[in-house]
Structure 1
Amino acid sequence: MQKRSSDHAQGIDISHWQGTINWEQVRAAGKVFAFIKASEGSTVKDKQFLTNVQKATAAGLLVGAYHFSRATSPAGVKIEVDHFLSVVSPVTNDMKLPLVLDIETKEAGSKANIVKTVRAWVEYFKQRTGKYPMIYTFPNFIDTSLDASFGDIKLWYAYYNNDGTPINRGGWKDWEFLQYSSSGKVKGISGDVDMNEYHGSEKELRDKYDPTMVTPPPTEIDGKSPLWKETGRQWLIDELGISEDWKATDVVDIGTLGTILSRAMNNKG
């Protein structure tokens, strides 16, 4: 498998355990994407899921959702998949990243039964959606509970040894996303959060999963205005005669907004 790289797009994964998140600050901290817990087993719905998806998307992050499986046999996967899809259905159009099967516990017992159960899960998911989910798992689970038959499915790999190159496991020779820490610190989130990266740059990530999106720039950090705000400020000065004393970092109060709108309407006429 490939190594991590400083050029790779950075992101996080979260659930309700992270509490209320300031997604604008997360985006300003350079995080490009987020995987958000939607559901678990056949009945559990993450209570923060819809809010997190809507606010993360509004802040400019690419979003995916994951389901924590508790299926004990192939016969039990249908209810889980149906539950997962019902939970994500209100925000399906907001999510550009893959939907994920999180498989990391051994409710299904033996390796043979786990393999059959996971295969049944992904196949039924494909029947419902037309595509496979991505699989989230970790090295020991692959070694003890999966086989090479899943190599055709994208891997979100929990791999915390950052010193070397991950070896190929099961049928996988690369990873799509890598979770490399469970104790990250990100502005806008209280406490620890899982840290992740994509296997390419932010541009490559967006080109692949949301090629039509106009990328919103991150909010300024430490009082420095991003280029888009400086460009807008200059346009207001040049076209509407706004005072050069007005800075892009200034709060737009109602008086300033009224002046801008009034001059814009006059220029239009």
Structure 2
Amino acid sequence: MPVSRAGFARRARSKAVTLTGTLVSAGALLLTSTGPAAAAPPPADEPVKPGQAWMGAGTRLEQPHASDSGGVLGPLDTSGVQGIDVSHWQGAINWSSVKGAGIDFAYIKATEGTGFKDSRFGTNYTNAYNAGLVRGAYHFARPNASNGATQANYFASNGGAWSRDNKTLPGVLDIEHNPSGAMCYGLTTTQMRTWINDFYTTYKARTSRDVVIYTTASWWNTCTGNWTGMAAKAPLWIAHWGVTSPNVPSGFPTWTFWQYTATGRVSGVAGDVDRNKFNGSMTRLVALANNTP
């Protein structure tokens, strides 16, 4: 991720999960079916600090590894149920305008590692809800900072909780290319599988929900060794830009969310923002939020 378009180090993109109408396991559905500009990111030769990593950053930290298309950004796929993912990088957001622009869901950055809380999470989470969006929180994983259970607890205690209210999606584990070191955070494939499973198990114990996994096919296949252990548990949010259909990592039958571009524009958001779509109808999105068949 040190390579960038515009001279900046870049980060990975947001989420995509498909539901195909049936419960795959205890709660995992599979369906087929204007604010101020954000501060500039650090130069490419400067370490990426907590809170400056990828998802939710739009194109401010563009990196080839952000998607399996080598960083190539394609046309918007605005069909179906549309969403965005955001963090403090977007600055102030007019969520009523976002809703009016046809966006029905949003994932909002809450935490990273074990010591970073996004400064705009509370405002975004509340205002998105009040504007009528179905929204959820995400955690940017730092597997080299602590074990999965520790980070799952940190996330659940700082924005990643869940309630059945028609508008709260299950939390997301954003696990992708390391923004400031070895691609797989220095973990072996066995260690990475353990880390992810510990995060999943702890998050479910805290919230009763299966965590959504945001990743790319290339990262997952490389860093988990084509692991199939999450296939019947976690909905998949896949990041893959510039294509008409995303590559799905080994072990996942399909996607639930698809982050299809990082150069989206939406009324109410200043600058580029990640655009996503849900693999199903609005009724199925609410079912995912409420954990109902």
Per the TM superposition, whether the score is higher than 0.5 is yes
Give the match for residue 155 of structure 2: 84
CA distance in 1, matches of 2:100, 2:78: 18
The number of equivalent residue pairs is: 210
Pairwise CA distance, 1:128: 2.1
- Give the alignment's Cα RMSD to 1 decimal: 2.6
Give the match for residue 150 of structure 1: 230
Give the match for residue 124 of structure 1: 202
Query: Which secondary structure does the structure 2 equivalent of 1:180 belong to?
Result: strand
Amino acid in the other structure paired with 1:52: N
Residue pair 1:108, 1:114 contacting (<8 A) in 2 also: no
Q: Which structure would you say has the larger RCO, counting Cα contacts within 8 Å and 6 or more residues apart?
A: 2
CA distance in 2, matches of 1:109, 1:199: 32
1:63 equivalent to 2:135? Answer: yes
What's the TM-score, normalizing by structure 2? 0.65
Query: Which secondary structure does the structure 1 equivalent of 2:200 belong to?
Result: helix
Over 3 Å counting, the alpha-carbon distance change for 1:168 and 1:177 in structure 2 is closer
Give the match for residue 37 of structure 1: 109
Pairwise CA distance, 1:93: 6.5
Give the match for residue 53 of structure 2: none
Amino acid in the other structure paired with 1:96: T
What's the TM-score, normalizing by structure 1? 0.71
CA distance in 1, matches of 2:288, 2:202: 25
Over 3 Å counting, the alpha-carbon distance change for 1:199 and 1:91 in structure 2 is closer
Q: Which runs of 5+ in 1 are unaligned?
A: 213-269
CA distance in 1, matches of 2:132, 2:286: 11
Taking the TM superposition and a 5 Å limit, the aligned residue runs for 1:163-202 are 163=244, 165-202=245-282
Give the match for residue 84 of structure 2: 12
Task: String of CA shifts for 1:164-196, please: whole Å, max 9, x gaps.
Answer: x33442111111111001111111111110000
Over 3 Å counting, the alpha-carbon distance change for 1:40 and 1:201 in structure 2 is same
Q: Percent identity?
A: 36
Query: Which secondary structure does the structure 1 equivalent of 2:242 belong to?
Result: coil
Amino acid in the other structure paired with 1:29: A
Give the match for residue 63 of structure 2: none
1:133 equivalent to 2:211? Answer: yes
Over 3 Å counting, the alpha-carbon distance change for 1:123 and 1:211 in structure 2 is closer
- Which protein shows a greater Rg? 1
Q: Which runs of 5+ in 2 are unaligned?
A: 1-17, 19-31, 34-75, 179-183
Relative to its length, the structure with more helix (as a share) is: 1
